[in-house]
Amino acid sequence: MEFQMNYPIYLQVAEDIKRKIIIGELSPGERLPSNTDLAVLYTVNPNTVQRIYRQLESEGISFTKRGIGTFITEDENLPKRLRKEIGEKLADDFLQKMKTYEFSKEEINQLLKSKDFD
């Protein structure tokens, strides 16, 4: 994973884990990698991994069983909920940026209709 310089690494990794949940690479109830394994996987410091897991827990995405590991919340609706939350955030960010260039709703709709998503 290539990290953006202007955004905290722990949040970028947390977002990647959410992406994996949304696309089905990770499932509700599944055990996440150990701190050491996640640090190696993303080439980050073990302290960063602790922040990643704390962030995911604070968002209700994971939970830790002491001495056993960290797991994705067992809520079967989690992928759907995350997809909606992230979709709304991306749409808001996009629309806010378009607004700074004073694009009208009609221009934005026209641009989107002209794009091929495949």
In a 10 Å sphere around its CB, with 0-12 CB exposed, 13-18 middle and 19+ buried, how is residue 115 labelled?
A: exposed
Quick one: CA torsion of 31, 35, 37, 38, rounded to 10 degrees? 80
Read off the pLDDT of residues 9-61 as tens digits, 9 standing for 90 and up: 999 999 999 999 999 999 999 999 999 999 999 999 999 999 999 999 999 99
pLDDT band at 117 (very low <50, low <70, confident <90, very high): confident
pLDDT reported for residue 1: 86
Q: What pairs with residue 64 in β-bridges?
A: 70
Q: In terms of Cα–Cα distance, which of 26, 30, 32, 117 is closest to 79?
A: 26
